Structure 1
């Protein structure tokens, strides 16, 4: 049964990639509205979003990008295919990893490592250098990978978040095995709400856009919708649509809020250009860095231009 408020029958839980102790849970802990509410641990992104769509949860926290491997493709594809979802916030979690094993295991004993694919990619250089002949078994989460060692896993060791040995009887084989000590994962909180977070001046707008056809200049034409309005892109990644070779959709993060005139005008240009534009939301940036742009793209410039055109169309006398 979903966690609901009996008086309103509205969901009050939040979903996250479990079990307890994951980086996703750490991201959810940054959401003030989630404090004191029930949290639902799920196995994958699809299940988290299904909770939201079905009304079992208010929102779901999911990983969307990391500083080593870029966008999380499973999340990007899910957001492109599940209608009616909106990103309402983003959260950053510094990421570090340890290697753990069953008690009595040494590093020399490790032949197979269990890990979430994203974490495995972030530790790949260390693993290749330290365990050059190891094999990899993918896991739904790094906490689950560690726990499985005590439950008949075929792996000899697991990549896990720091502190895992406080929750499970495991041997700590190595610390700080990530390839980049400054690694950060970006998470987004996804809900069904249509209410936009207020504009702060330090915002981000996320979109998924399909090219109208596979032809020379199509990508440039899409990018011009932003560049001619002075809108910077902080993320641009392609994902195959899947219906034919050469057909791609683009996952885009644009600096600014849909209430910014320059961003709104860019979205109008995209809508005229593309057969499919998915608006995923405008929300405050996690780093709270104000968006910088030149004064010729101020809101007042766009408003004045519309007023000028309106005057021409209505035959108002010019001043």
Structure 2
């Protein structure tokens, strides 16, 4: 996605199978998938959703228009932005800022406060925005800090995103029949994509009714505009198609929405990489092989404890991000006059923990939910 230095490149490099592979750049999601169909690439990594900016329309459009793509793997990265400029450029001289539209959505308040007179110029990728700054076409770019060194730029501001804890979800897509990438002990997801005519909000109303169905209460439905008379829908169902609950949900969706086609079942992301981890990947200080855990030998208590310590640290980091996200959601709900707690959603979350972890999962869910409520109320 764009020249070197994008979050999509980071997502791709985080996978073990990327080590030693030739990486082929593409300006758009459609071009990336076209490389796959022509046989120039085995798979394409595409950004599909951001927790702040929502679905990525270009990716959804490319998935709908491409011949039967399937998802073989998912990656989630937490996202932090910097304002990159040519060395010595003060903020007072920034008149144009470039970057991907999703990045612009996530830094709008910061830009309005720090460079209020700057004009936003959309780019196919944040790295393309950085290239434009390097070549003198723009004054500044919104991109990852890691892109600065690649384009001879410096940061006029770091951590400029308006909301902390934002994360972007990426899908590794291939042609139908491609092998899935096994991720032991990982949860799974089944996704569907479709385009539907819509002259008003009838699709939204229909989806709201569907969400009340007991088979679909845990299904995520994301709709984006695709012109004045068309909508794109991405549906994510928990579990694989060999799980009865998932098969029922998929069947009901396809029955209710003819034209909704499956992107397959795949391992869902179990780890959100930190900025320091991403930096090691992009600077070559960590190899793809380092991301593959080595199972300790039976009876090796020390190594097992080290593995548990590492897992605990990952859990703590994930819980910290959950606290931040919960606090922001509850602030927005209360600002709109709603209740701080959504009991229906909490019930669904508890059921998810119980289904995945057994009876003890309910207690874990109760502890997590209680912790997040307490954080939000302080």
What TM-score range do you get, normalising by the shorter chain? 0.7 to 0.9
* Matched ranges for 1:300-319 at <5 A: none
- Give the 3-state SS of the residue equivalent to 1:194 in structure 2: coil
The structure with the greater share of residues assigned to helix is 2
Provide the TM-score with structure 2 as the length reference.
0.65
Spell out, residue by residue over 1:21-62, the C-alpha distance to the aligned partner (whole angstroms, 9 max, x if none): 211111001222221111101111111011111111110001
Where in structure 2 are the equivalents of 1:198-213 lying within 5 Å? 202-209=187-194
Q: Does the aligned pair in 2 maintain the 1:230–1:293 contact within 8 Å?
A: no
2:131–2:151 contact (8 Å) kept in structure 1: yes
User: How many residues in Structure 1 have an aligned counterpart in Structure 2?
Assistant: 274
Cα RMSD between the aligned structures? Answer: 2.9
- Quote how far apart the aligned CAs of 1:215 are: 8.3
| Counterpart residue number, 1:158 | 141
**Are 2:82 and 1:98 equivalent residues in the alignment?**
yes
Residue of structure 2 in register with 1:26 after alignment: 10
1:254 paired residue number: 237
Which of the residues 171, 186, 202 maps onto 2:169?
Answer: 186
Distance in structure 2 (CA, Å) of the matches to 1:81 and 1:228: 31
Cα contact 2:81–2:158 (8 A) shared by 1? yes
- Tell me which residue corresponds to 1:236: 221
Which whole-Å CA distance do the structure 2 matches of 1:99 and 1:142 have between them?
11
Question: Which aligned pairs between 1:5-20 and structure 2 lie closer than 5 A?
Answer: 17-20=1-4
Unaligned runs of 5+ in 1: 1-16, 299-319
Asked if structure 2 preserves the Cα contact closer than 8 Å seen for 1:201 and 1:256, the reply is: no
Cα deviation for residue 275 of structure 1 reads 2.2
Relative distance call for 1:196 and 1:37 in structure 2 (3 A) is closer
Cross-structure match for 1:271: 254
> Cα distance 1:41–1:211, how it changes in 2: closer, same or farther (>3 A)?
closer
Judge conservation of contact 2:64–2:195 (CA < 8 Å) in 1: no
Partner of residue 219 from structure 1, selected from 207, 210, 220:
207
CA contact (8 A) 2:37 2:175 kept: yes
Query: What is the match of residue 88 of structure 1?
Result: 72
Partner SS for 1:253: strand
Between structure 1 and structure 2, the one with the greater Rg is: 1
Q: Any conservation in 2 of the 1:212–1:273 contact (CA below 8 Å)?
A: no
Write the distance in 1 (CA, Å) between the matches of 2:48 and 2:232: 16
Decide which of 43, 46, 68 is 1:62's aligned counterpart: 46
| Helix, strand or coil at the partner of 2:189 | strand
Give the 3 Å change call, closer, same or farther, for CA 149–201 of structure 1 in structure 2: closer
Tell me, which stretches of 5 or more residues in structure 2 are unaligned? 272-314, 316-348, 359-378
The answer on whether the counterparts of 1:205 and 1:254 sit within 8 Å (CA) in structure 2 is yes
* Larger fraction in strand: 1
Report the alpha carbon displacement of residue 241 of structure 1 after superposing the two structures with TM. 6.1
